[in-house]
Amino acid sequence: MRHLIRQSAQVLPMTALLLVLLVGAVGMALDSGRAYLVRARLAAAVDAAGLAAARAVTRGEDAASRKASAVAAAGRAFRANYPDGYLSSTPQLRTPQLSFEQGRVLVDTSASASLPLGLTAVMGFTGIDVEASAQAMRRDLDLALVLDVSTSLAPVAQQVRDAAVLFLERFSPDTDRVALVRFAYGAVVDMPIRTGQRGFDRPAMRRQLQAAQFSGYTNSAEGLWQGHAQLNSVLATQRSSLRVMVFFSDGVPTAFASRFGVAAPAGCDVAGVLVSDIDGVSVRGLWRMDRQEEPVPGCAAVTLSPQALPPFYNAHGERADLPVAGGAPRSVGARPSWINVNRAARNLAEAMAARARADGIHVYTVGLGPELLQYGGADGESGSDMLKCMANSADAPLRCRAPSQPAGVHCHARDAAELKPCFAILGAEILRLTK
């Protein structure tokens, strides 16, 4: 009898110990699963915070305000992706660390979460700290913003200015380079791209945009030429890995520049701009190709020779890859007729964009107004189709798609109220490429 009692007394402590071990093992399994879920959620939240900070680092007028914007954006993204009290944990996001290296912005983000333990506590453990860290990088960018400021846009001039100003807020004045070009009869570089350092003067560019006046006809090719020239003015060894041209217009081009065959007056065989007039018949010139709306002195009304149009664009020197007379995709003769000037202007706009893309430049386009969607003009085509061809967008006509060249995006704004959303779409697409 005594033997049985002594044996029972030994079994009870062993049973209690086994129960503790069993509860501890179950607790470890459950708490390990919770810790895994917390760690995965924490890592995703840290990634989101870093990306948000990298995007927001462009907002502000000085370095301190831009850093504050990045820190605030990181906090919002972290909280959106890691709810308070997730699995009873207590998270803490550390202040993101920003550094600038050769035009890139690096954002180092880290966070921890304190997770109280459940059944594992029977083994003497009270909690576990989970850590996560990430580094986000935003590539530097070279960008040319090319804006149509022709007469037809005068009624919505302020909406165009405001949309462009808001678009520029997306880019870093510390690391991104930006050129500002406006065009009508000719193209004017309001703010050249910086070739000796990174960044751009955003307040000065904002002032330039607000001061822009709207007048003249549409010479898209010259705007594209100057945008391309600005991007190429940076030495090849110092160019950003991402180069972009954003082009805005509300219509098809009606003018282009070259050296034309001039019969009179003497001395007017200089590079200038011819216009296919709105009457659908007349051809007028010459205007300066480096001014918005200014005649070439002494050549405001020239008499053209019967074979006035050159075979190739030659306003800045002969360019055999930019055909005028005989050019594609629309057949152009050398006679200076309204149809030939109109077709040459459209051919050159598409050819200029293709030439930029051949240099690795991404071209994005914004079109404004319902007229761009209408099929008409000399060849029964829409202005939007031409802008899609320039961008090499996924919805461009088959005749102009170039799979080997960078693909861009075209956004059509039906009215001025849709300009800001269109520019926002392009801005988001461009920033996506900086990651």
Q: Could you tell me the CATH number of the domain that includes residue 209?
A: 3.40.50.410
Local structure of residue 364 (DSSP, 8 states): E
Residue with tokens 């051809």: 283
Q: Are residues 129 and 203 in the same domain?
A: no
pLDDT average, residue stretch 193-211? 95
Per-range mean pLDDT, top range of 25-39, 70-84, 153-167, 322-336: 153-167
Q: Are residues 90 and 178 in the same domain?
A: no
User: Two tokens at 404?
Assistant: 């080997």
How far is residue 71's CA from residue 66's CA, in Å, rounded to a whole number?
9
Q: Are residues 248 and 359 in the same domain?
A: yes
Least-confidence region, from 18-27, 165-174, 197-206, 249-258: 18-27
Q: Mark which of 86, 121, 138 sits at the end of a domain.
A: 138
Q: Are residues 185 and 67 in the same domain?
A: no
pLDDT at 380 exceeding the cut of 90: no
pLDDT band (50, 70, 90) for residue 176: very high
Q: Are residues 33 and 174 in the same domain?
A: no
Q: Are residues 226 and 335 in the same domain?
A: yes
pLDDT average, residue stretch 378-383? 81
Buried b (16+ CB within 10 A) or exposed e, 53-70: bbbbbbbbeeeeebbebb
Helix (H) or strand (E) holding 18, with range, is helix 2-56
Least-confidence region, from 136-140, 202-206, 247-251: 136-140
Amino acid 22: pLDDT: 47
Q: What is the pLDDT of residues 67-86, one digit of tens each?
A: 898 899 899 999 999 988 89
Residue 135 CB burial class (10 angstroms; 0-12, 13-18, ≥19): middle
Q: Mark which of 138, 170, 200 sits at the end of a domain.
A: 138
Amino acid 216: pLDDT: 96
How far is residue 133's CA from residue 110's CA, in Å, rounded to a whole number?
4
Residue-number span of the structural domain to which 389 is assigned: 142-433
For strands 104-116 and 97-101, give the pairing: antiparallel
Amino acid 378: pLDDT: 61
Amino acid 21: pLDDT: 45
Q: Are residues 30 and 159 in the same domain?
A: no
Average pLDDT over the chain reads 88
pLDDT at 377 exceeding the cut of 70: no
Which residue from 426, 435, 358, 420 is spatially nearest to 387, judged by alpha carbons?
A: 426
370 or 57: which leads in pLDDT: 370
Three-state SS at 431: helix
Amino acid 34: pLDDT: 80
Amino acid 319: pLDDT: 82
Within 116-184, residue ranges assigned H as helices are 157-168
How far is residue 289's CA from residue 413's CA, in Å, rounded to a whole number?
28
Q: Are residues 28 and 124 in the same domain?
A: yes
Residue 414, amino acid: R
**Number of C-beta neighbours around residue 432 at 10 A:** 8
Q: Are residues 103 and 179 in the same domain?
A: no
- Which CA distances in Å does 240 have to 139, 237, 416? 8, 9, 32
Amino acid 31: pLDDT: 64
pLDDT at 16 exceeding the cut of 80: no
45 or 320: which leads in pLDDT: 45
Q: Are residues 175 and 304 in the same domain?
A: yes
How far is residue 169's CA from residue 65's CA, in Å, rounded to a whole number?
13
Contacts (Cβ under 8 Å, ≥6 apart) of 388: 365, 395, 396, 397, 400, 410
pLDDT band (50, 70, 90) for residue 404: very high
Amino acid 321: pLDDT: 86
Q: Mark which of 138, 167, 198 sits at the end of a domain.
A: 138
Number of separate domains in the chain: 2
Residue 270 CB burial class (10 angstroms; 0-12, 13-18, ≥19): middle
pLDDT band (50, 70, 90) for residue 8: low
Q: What is the pLDDT of residues 337-350, one digit of tens each?
A: 999 999 999 999 99
Q: Are 182 and 189 in contact (CB under 8 A)?
A: no
Q: Are residues 370 and 279 in the same domain?
A: yes
pLDDT at 20 exceeding the cut of 50: no
Amino acid 26: pLDDT: 46
Amino acid 10: pLDDT: 58
How far is residue 60's CA from residue 49's CA, in Å, rounded to a whole number?
18
Q: Are residues 154 and 65 in the same domain?
A: no
Q: What is the pLDDT of residues 103-161, one digit of tens each?
A: 677 889 999 998 886 555 544 456 788 999 998 877 889 999 999 999 999 999 999 99
pLDDT at 356 exceeding the cut of 90: yes
Amino acid 110: pLDDT: 95
